[in-house]
Amino acid sequence: MKISKKQSLGAAAVVVALTLGAVSTTAMANAPAHHHAPVSEQDQLHALYRQAKAQGGKVTVYMGGDAPGQWDNLATAFQQQFPDVKLNLVTDLSKYHDARIDNQLATGSLVADAAILQTAQDFDRWKKQGDLLRYKPVGWDKVFADAKDKDGYYTGVFYGAFSYVVNSKQLPANPGDFKGTDLLKPAYKNKLVLTYPNDDDAVLFGYKQLVDKYGWNYLAQLVKQNPKLIRGVPGSAAGVASGDYLASIAVGGDARPNGTQVFSDTERFNSWAQRGAIFKNAPHKAGAKLFMSWLDSQAVQKNAIATWTWSVRKDVSPPAGLRPLASYKNTDQTAFAKFMSDRASVERFRSQVELYFGQVKGADPGDPTDTLGRSPGAF
């Protein structure tokens, strides 16, 4: 998934806000009990914390992303609030994490207690195979229905959204009027930075939507613009942010000071709930329950998620400058999961896209030193 300057710059504020939440957790835990008062989310987290400590105080989470340390702000905030639970939060591309998990399941050597990935089809498969723990995190009833499994085997933690990222000076008076064919203009020759669509399925789905609208000749014309092709989404946003490039396609992230993410009024864009789940045979179930409940709690969704993207909770407002996701008529939060579920169609489309952009080149952006191996995060 994506990382932005806003995430990095806001990390300290997130830690402070959530550490204050830890203080309130302790205060409420020490307050006199009221038999008929509803149990607060912070009280629930405090109870889960006690259970996690009793089970050894450890948890390993595999989280999809394409830059080392992408989610360090979350890990730091969690450790500030729950210092007696050691968290191994391992970031890598989702398509590599799911292979690790499948191998660990097949060899009876499960390391990952929980996974938060964009490979939506894996969660449905793992549920069917009986590999997931049925668990509804704190605040589950406040999570949008399209962001969770109705039976409670997986729950979304944020909404991702990939669309155009464009230099602000290139936008029309109404940014929503921007469309893919604008990128075929002479001004964009040698000035496009694109994440390989055949390397990232969330990016690939954005290109599927473009081909559905404009046809395959659009990709042929796009390639003639001589785009710079890279691995990972953050680099595309950063390329526009620096001013070195004018636009990217089907990505996300903070492109300031020179660019912005654009949601077209005439074209579809990809939005989806990033799913998270706990494995039935997780070595540290209590720690995994604490982490997933913490991440879906109102305080974290407000202070650490809704600062840069849409929360999966109904009671948390979207980031400044964005409307509620459901109000955007050119996106369907369930479409990506449907696309991902038909693996034969995905691979056919990927193979055709590769004819235009070539085979993926470069190191894994999430593991550039190739050191994670089959079972990272093992205690």
Per residue in 81-108, pLDDT (tens digit) is: 999 999 999 999 999 999 999 999 999 9
Contact 115, 129 (CB under 8 A): no
Asked if residue 288 lies in contact with residue 114, where contact means CB atoms within 8 angstroms, the answer is yes
SS3 call for 40: coil
CA 303 to chain centre: 16
Q: Tell me what pLDDT residue 30 has.
A: 41
Query: Does the bond joining 175 to the residue before it have cis omega, within 30 degrees of 0?
Result: no
E-assigned strand segments in the chain: 58-64, 86-92, 114-117, 155-167, 193-195, 228-230, 247-251, 259-262, 270-278
Does the pLDDT at position 218 exceed 80? yes
% pLDDT > 90, the chain: 90
Q: What is the pLDDT of residue 147?
A: 98
**Confidence (pLDDT) at 35:** 54
- The model's pLDDT over 276-321, given as tens digits with 9 standing for 90+, comes to 999 999 999 999 999 999 999 999 999 999 999 999 999 999 999 9
pLDDT band at 38 (very low <50, low <70, confident <90, very high): confident
| Maximum pairwise Cα distance, the chain | 70
